[in-house]
Every structure is written in C-alpha cells, then in structure tokens.
Structure 1
Amino acid sequence: MLFHVVPLDEWSADPGDAYRPASLASEGFVHCSADEAAALAIAEAHYRDTAGPLLVLVVDEELLTPEVRWEGSEDELFPHVYGPVDRRAVVDVLEVRRDADGHALDLTPWA
C-alpha cells in the first residue's frame, strides 16, 4: 500500500475523474509515502498550516494504471506515481487528527 497526504478540498474537487494533484503537473509525479508513520511525518512537515480536514489516501499499488517508481537515496526511498491516481486504486481514506496548533497526532478512519 502507498499513502498520499491531501487536503479534503483537493481530493473532493473532481470526484468523477482520476486524482491529479499539483505535483503531477509541476514535477511529473504524485508524491506518496511507504507507511502511515511517513505520511504523518509529511503531514507534520508540510501541511501544519492547511485549513480544513487533512486526509491520507491509502492506495493499492496493484490497482494503479500509471507506473510507480521508488526513488530517493540509499537511506530512504519514496514511492512516486507517474500519472493520475485511479480512484478505484484508493482502497481507504484516513483523516489526520491534529491538535489546535495543526500538529499531526495520528490517523483515524474518515467518515
């Protein structure tokens, strides 16, 4: 499974189409994480000031149409999806529970 952090308003913007975050246009791929702990670290480092609900998409790599490449350094590899994320590949959606200052605490089921 792959994990992708996204604000709710971006995930729900076009529910009838494959998910295309801004990084796909600017960098050519969708940033993902290898596990829940890494996704929480990304939420903490890059999304603390994001207003509204913050989600983590759980993506089944086997259900993706685009290629997934594991890239980075010898010490740490990150999964990158080289195309839009097929919505059928999103097998679960979690919410990042945050404190009043926006610090990521944990992941809970999104209702």
Structure 2
Amino acid sequence: MPSILHIASADAWEAAKKAGSYRWSTRGKSLDDGATFIHASRPEQVSLVANVVYADATEPLCLLVIDTERLVSAVCYEEADGQTFPHIYGPLNLDAVVDVRPYERGSDGRWPVVTPQALS
C-alpha cells in the first residue's frame, strides 16, 4: 500500500469525520478558503514540515496515514524547497485514511522524525 502522511490538528480531523471529507490544506488554510491542494509528506519529510509550519503549535496534532490508491482526488508530486512533496488536489475522502496516529513533540521540544517502518 503506497502511503503518504498529512499533519492535522486533532480537532480538524474530528470535524472532518462529521462532515464526510477532510478539506484542510495546511495549518490555518483550507480548500474552502481558496487553497488549491492538501499538503502531504512522505514519512521522512514530516518532521521537517512540522518543525517549520507547526513550530509554535499548542493544539494536539495527529498524522493521517493516507493510502494513495484509495484517493478519489488526484495526488501530484511537486517540487518545493528542493524536495518533491505529494499534494492532493481536492478533498481527502475519509476511506483513504487508513490510520490516524497521535503526533507529539519529543523531550527536546521538536517534532520527531517519522520512519517508514513506524507506519507498518
């Protein structure tokens, strides 16, 4: 199963389950506000993104584990900051989310590295 990850606030994920789809692009931006895609990452990119975008976050975060073969919306891999990131162009259908894992800061206050092995 090819999978990608999306960093979500726990509240946004709970709201998505009630609404029937997930529409948050990244922290503070949604498809409803004009964002064109949902930001996602490969496991080794998660901590990089979290330590920049969520550096001052105090709300509980979780990782949405997304099976790309189940996505209804298109996923494209695009260059950003010298890396290729997966972007989901449209709402995230809930049945593509195969796992939701809490994502907590390490004892050093930084968001930890996620390994591909941690997802199996």
Range into which the TM-score falls when normalised by the shorter chain: 0.7 to 0.9
Query: 1:27 maps to what in 2?
Result: 35
Select the structure that is richer in helix.
2
| Length-normalised TM-score, structure 2 | 0.77
Q: Which amino acid aligns with 1:47?
A: Y
Query: 1:92 maps to what in 2?
Result: 99
Mapping of residues 47-86 of structure 1, within 5 Å: 47-72=54-79, 75-86=82-93
Distance 1:34 1:106, change over 3 A: closer
Query: 1:38 maps to what in 2?
Result: 45
SS of alignment partner, residue 105 of structure 1: coil
1:23-52 Cα shifts (integer Å, max 9, x gaps): 4243211000022x2112111111122222
Q: Which amino acid aligns with 1:15?
A: K
**Residue 101 (structure 1) shift:** 7.2
SS of alignment partner, residue 15 of structure 2: coil
**Residue 99 (structure 1) shift:** 4.2
Query: 1:12 maps to what in 2?
Result: 14
RMSD: 2.3
| Length-normalised TM-score, structure 1 | 0.82
Q: Name stretches of at least 5 consecutive residues in structure 1 with no aligned partner.
A: none
State the distance in 2 between where 1:102 and 1:95 align.
Answer: 16
Q: Which amino acid aligns with 1:30?
A: I
Runs of 4+ aligned structure 1 residues displaced above 2 Å come to 22-27, 99-102
